[in-house]
Amino acid sequence: DAGVTQSPTHLIKTRGQQVTLRCSPISGHKSVSWYQQVLGQGPQFIFQYYEKEERGRGNFPDRFSARQFPNYSSELNVNALLLGDSALYLCASSLDVNTEAFFGQGTRLTVV
Amino acid sequence: QKEVEQDPGPLSVPEGAIVSLNCTYSNSAFQYFMWYRQYSRKGPELLMYTYSSGNKEDGRFTAQVDKSSKYISLFIRDSQPSDSATYLCAPGWGGGNKLTFGTGTQLKVEL
């Protein structure tokens, strides 16, 4: 079975631009969460979605938004990019909100 | 004070050693406790998942949770060079996906 897949793997954006990151969960998993990992730090929780509804939001500005589609895939959008948004963005999926979370390989975003 | 504290290391041990990795946390609402292994420039890989206090063993890995002292441990027996990675503790609550990660401990197992 395929694991959590994220696209793209790398991208470079300019300050002020907008970016959309994509995630496909493990087949059968209905919950998707997004994390930001800055170099040298642990991942930080951004959003959790379950059955297309937002179930949790971390301490991130409104420039960050996300959604989950009927097939349980998800997108993370970041507007008005700042240099500090440069990080590895990780998607995790789980069967539901109370089970183990499995991570994808991440999207490495560089803002210049 | 951070919600989850973890010694960043680096921790260097010889092959075959027993490794002890530890975390402390402050939020008593945490109910789920996960350990992840992360190789450089890769996504975290789930190693262990425990619920509430107690021990759980899986092969060379043992996870311990002491909720009374808010202390989490991961033991690695017979460590191998392939165990060289960053180990992240991640307690969670209200759902296994809302995880609060430590900064990670960098482990190097030397031949």
If chain A, 112 residues long, is cut into consecutive pieces of 10 residues, what is the mean pLDDT of each piece?
A: 91 98 96 95 94 93 97 98 98 86 95 98
Nearest alpha-carbon partner for A6 in A97, A90, A111 = A90
Q: Which residues of A touch B8 (CB under 8 A)?
A: 40
- Give the integer Cα–Cα distance in Å for B51 and B33: 6
Residue of B nearest to A46 (CA): B98
Residues whose CB is less than 8 angstroms from the CB of residue A35 and which lie 6 or more positions away in sequence, other chains included? A43, A44, A45, A46, A89, A90, A91, A92, A103, B99, B101
DSSP B99: B
- Ordered per-residue pLDDT tens for chain B, 111 residues: 789 999 888 999 999 999 999 999 999 988 889 999 999 989 999 999 888 788 999 999 999 999 999 999 999 999 999 999 999 999 987 555 688 999 999 999 999
- Give the integer Cα–Cα distance in Å for A59 and A95: 24
Burial of B93: CB neighbours in 10 Å, binned 0-12, 13-18, 19+: middle
For residue A21, is it left (φ>0), alpha (ψ between -120 and 50) or beta?
Answer: beta
* pLDDT tens figures, A27-52: 999 999 999 999 989 999 999 999 99
Judge whether A102 is closer than 8 Å to chain B, CB to CB. Answer: yes
Q: Which of A45, A46, A47, A90 best tests the B interface by mutation, with the highest count of B CBs <10 A?
A: A45
A45 with B6: Cβ contact below 8 A: no
B95 with A55: Cβ contact below 8 A: yes
Which residue has 């092959």 as its token pair?
A: B15
Judge whether A19 is closer than 8 Å to chain B, CB to CB. Answer: no
Alpha helices in A1-112 (DSSP H): none
| Amino acid in the structure at residue A56 | G
Which residue has 């500005």 as its token pair?
A: A61
- Give the integer Cα–Cα distance in Å for A86 and A36: 9
Minimal Cβ distance to A94: which of B90, B96, B103: B96
Alpha helices in chain B (DSSP H): none
